[in-house]
Amino acid sequence: MMLSKVLTINVILISVVSCGGGHRNENPPPTQLPPPAPPSIDWTEVINTDPTTLSEVELQENYWGYAQHLYQGITESATVGPEPIQQVTNKLLGTGNPLIPYFLNALFSRVITSNQSQLVTGNISEACYVSGSVDLTGELDEKGIGILAVSYNQCNEGNGTITGTGAISLHESSNSDFTSVFFFNEVSLEAFNEEWIITGHYLYGSEIGTEGPFGIYFSSSHLLFEAQSTGIQYLEQLNWRSDGNRGDEDGTSYSGEIVLESLGSVQFTTESKFSSDNNPLYAKLAFSMGDNAIASLEFAAALKLLIDQNADGEPESGKYFISLDHFLNTDFTHTSLEDVEAMNQPPRVLKPYIQPEFAFEGDQLEIHDIRYIDPDTPENELTVSYQWTKWNEIIPDQTESILPAGIATAGDRIRATVIVSDGEFSVSSLPAEVYINAE
CA angle 237, 243, 245 (to 5 degrees): 175
**Is 382 within the bounds of a domain?**
yes
Q: What's the DSSP call for residue 244? A: -
**Is 113 within the bounds of a domain?**
no
Neighbours of 218 (CB within 10 A): 17
* Residue-number span of the structural domain to which 363 is assigned: 348-437
Number of structural domains (the chain) is 1
CA angle 97, 104, 275 (to 5 degrees): 55
**Is 127 within the bounds of a domain?**
no
pLDDT per position in the chain (439 positions), as tens?
332 333 333 333 233 333 444 444 556 666 777 777 677 899 999 999 999 999 999 999 999 999 999 999 999 999 999 999 999 999 998 877 777 777 777 777 666 666 555 677 888 888 887 899 999 999 888 777 899 999 999 988 777 899 999 999 988 655 567 788 999 999 999 987 889 999 999 998 888 766 655 778 889 999 999 999 999 999 999 999 888 665 556 688 999 999 999 999 999 999 888 776 655 568 899 999 988 889 999 998 899 999 999 888 899 999 999 999 999 999 999 999 999 999 999 999 999 999 999 999 999 999 999 999 999 999 999 999 999 999 999 999 999 999 999 999 999 999 999 999 999 999 999 999 999 999 8
The sign one gets for the Cα dihedral 315, 317, 320, 323 is negative
DSSP string, 266-331: EEEEEEE-B-TT-SS--EEEEEE-GGG-EEEEEESSSEEEEEETT-SS---EEEEESSHHHHHT--
* pLDDT value of position 179: 84
User: In angstroms, rounded to a whole number, what is the distance separating the alpha carbons of residues 220 and 239?
Assistant: 4
* pLDDT value of position 5: 35
User: In angstroms, rounded to a whole number, what is the distance separating the alpha carbons of residues 280 and 277?
Assistant: 8
Burial 274-299 (b: 16+ CB within 10 A, else e): bbeeeeeeebbbbbbbeeebbbbbbb
Is the preceding peptide bond at 213 cis, omega within 30 degrees of 0?
A: no
**Phi-psi label, residue 102: left if phi above 0, alpha if psi -120 to 50, beta otherwise:** alpha
* Listed residue (67, 44, 47) closest to 202, CA to CA: 67
User: In angstroms, rounded to a whole number, what is the distance separating the alpha carbons of residues 304 and 300?
Assistant: 8
Task: With beta carbons less than 8 A apart as the criterion, state whether 359 and 436 touch.
Answer: yes
296 CA to centre of own chain: 15
* pLDDT value of position 394: 97
* pLDDT value of position 7: 30
**Is 419 within the bounds of a domain?**
yes
Q: For the domain that residue 360 is a member of, what is the CATH number?
A: 2.60.40.10
Neighbours of 206 (CB within 10 A): 21
**Is 392 within the bounds of a domain?**
yes
* Listed residue (225, 226, 201, 205) closest to 215, CA to CA: 205
**Is 123 within the bounds of a domain?**
no
Task: With beta carbons less than 8 A apart as the criterion, state whether 141 and 115 touch.
Answer: no
**Is 370 within the bounds of a domain?**
yes
* pLDDT value of position 11: 34
Task: With beta carbons less than 8 A apart as the criterion, state whether 306 and 295 touch.
Answer: yes
Amino acid at 433: E
pTM of the model: 0.81
